[in-house]
Amino acid sequence: MNLTLKVWRQNSIESKGKLETYTVEANEHMSFLEMMDVLNQKLLENKQDPIAFDHDCREGICGACSMVINGRPHGPQGGTTTCQLHMRHFKDGDTIVVEPFRAQSFPVVKDLVVDRSSFDRIMQAGGFISVNTGQAIDGNAIPIEKERASRSFDAAACIGCGACVAACPNGSAMLFVSSKVSHLGLLPQGEVENDRRVVNMVHQMDQEGFGRCSNIAACEAECPKEISIENIARMNRYYTAAVLTS
């Protein structure tokens, strides 16, 4: 299949970027990233600068493959990352627009690569539990209701890719932060410092310049792991309780 790609090219954070047009021949069985590899090989053979894009596991686990494809984070197929998107979802002769995630808190490093270290700083602010080494009770020894554990595991499925931020017109990180707050706060091991955690993580999120949630739910629709916005409501309850009782 012959495709026309309009790809965002930008040399650095300081420089201005623009869409540049390329043609590529791809196989319908290729993943989207494999198609980008073919294009980059073509550019290298023509002594041109290859397109920079993030990737690691290529199995939908790491969340690195952050691309906006035809206006949708990770592309047109729901519940998948870019690396899991295959070219059979496109047609011969299609024009595909490929851009980086657009958010003030995700500055473009180069081409399709964005700096998502803001997520790391939010996690450092409270995305953990504290235990005394050698004295922690074995997790399997603490009985937890099945429904509660399931809600925690569902929230823990978040891979921190940032699609929720890219999909939100406000550039909000509420789905990401609430998933981390929920998966720890729902378990007994994380309940102990839940108040401090939610306050610190929300404060850091605001410091990073992410926008406010206005319940549009675009984040849930574009999340490759289909994280529910119920987690946002839960985090809001946690935060309100923590502030009122502090």
Does residue 186 register a pLDDT over 90?
A: yes
The domain boundary residue, chosen from 83, 110, 137: 110
Same domain for 123 and 95, yes or no, is no
- Give me the sign of the Cα torsion angle 24, 30, 32, 35: negative
- Model pLDDT, residue 99: 98
How many angstroms separate the CA atoms of 181 and 121, rounded? Answer: 14
Q: Let me know: does 205 contact 122? Beta carbons within 8 Å.
A: yes
Determine phi and psi for 238, rounding to 5 degrees: -60, -45
Same domain for 197 and 170, yes or no, is yes
Same domain for 77 and 152, yes or no, is no
Does residue 137 register a pLDDT over 90?
A: no
Q: Let me know: does 166 contact 103? Beta carbons within 8 Å.
A: yes
Same domain for 128 and 192, yes or no, is yes
Q: What is the pLDDT of residues 201-236, one digit of tens each?
A: 999 999 999 999 999 999 999 999 999 999 999 999
Same domain for 120 and 191, yes or no, is yes
The interaxial angle of helices 174-185 and 117-126, nearest 10 deg, is: 30
- Sheet holding 18-25: strands in order across? 18-25, 2-9, 95-99, 68-69, 72-73
The residue-averaged pLDDT of 138-164 equals: 91
Q: Let me know: does 14 contact 35? Beta carbons within 8 Å.
A: no
The residue-averaged pLDDT of 186-197 equals: 93
How many domains would you assign to the chain? 2
Most confident of 12-16, 62-66, 107-111, 187-191: 107-111
Q: Cα–Cα distances in Å, from 153 out to 150, 181, 185, 222, 231?
A: 5, 12, 11, 19, 12
Same domain for 152 and 78, yes or no, is no
Domain range enclosing 24? 2-110
Contacts of 64 (CB under 8 A, 6+ apart): 54, 55, 56, 57, 161
Same domain for 165 and 140, yes or no, is yes
Same domain for 47 and 165, yes or no, is no
Same domain for 97 and 47, yes or no, is yes
Same domain for 152 and 185, yes or no, is yes
